[in-house]
Amino acid sequence: MNSPDDTPGSTVCPGCGSVLPSSGWPEAPKYNATPECAEVAGELLGYEVQNAARLGYLHQLRIDAYGAQHVAPDGPRIGPVFALNGLYMFLERGSGNLDVRTAHGIMANSFDDWPRLVPPARVGELTAYDVLTAGGVDEVESTLLRWAREVWEAWPDAERAAVRKLTVEIVPERYFRHQ
Ligand SMILES: [Zn+2]
């Protein structure tokens, strides 16, 4: 039943396209991801915790980059809205973890008619696996930043414009570090 192109014992992540050896990990229903890619995301969290002094400021960015790259087609609409909001606030407004988490809380309590944001077929080239295996902490940090920016820039202009507009309407200016 395998075509000649199939690599036996490996999986292709529908979100980021990473090809990883099959593992016994359970399904990851929250994300459009293979269990193997979700396992990588968990290992990346572990690496971040071990290197919190260096990587802690990227905690929310990592979550949002992964979320924006692995949007479940039937998931709640707020999922990709939050993910893109976080990417926008970090990358274009200089906002930190707490700013973005606070913004998510404000957004969740102030609005519920979210647009359905549909990701492009390929959401950037870099993956969480690339970040995890980049090398030492310097390389992980720089690759995580490149990954997040690639994911943000891969989304269509219309979706990004919608998220910018929603964010500016709902989130108070004090959570933006630059205007
Ligand atoms: Zn993936």
pLDDT value of position 28: 60
Residue 4 has pLDDT above 70, yes or no: no
- For residue 48 the two structure tokens come to 């971040």
pLDDT value of position 26: 66
Residue 157 has pLDDT above 90, yes or no: yes
pLDDT value of position 8: 59
pLDDT digits (tens, 9 = 90+) for 5-17: 444 589 999 999 9
Residue 1 has pLDDT above 60, yes or no: no
Distance 177 CA to ligand 1 centre (A): 30
Domain ranges of the chain: 11-175
Distance 70 CA to ligand 1 centre (A): 6
pLDDT digits (tens, 9 = 90+) for 136-145: 999 999 999 9
CA–CA gap between residue 145 and residue 118 (Å, rounded): 23
CA distances from residue 50 to 44, 47, 55, 80, 125 in whole angstroms, order as listed: 10, 5, 9, 28, 26
CA–CA gap between residue 96 and residue 167 (Å, rounded): 15
Distance 42 CA to ligand 1 centre (A): 12
pLDDT value of position 113: 86
Distance 140 CA to ligand 1 centre (A): 17
Distance 114 CA to ligand 1 centre (A): 24
Distance 34 CA to ligand 1 centre (A): 6
Query: Average pLDDT for residues 127-150, to the nearest whole number?
Result: 98
Distance 64 CA to ligand 1 centre (A): 13
Distance 129 CA to ligand 1 centre (A): 8
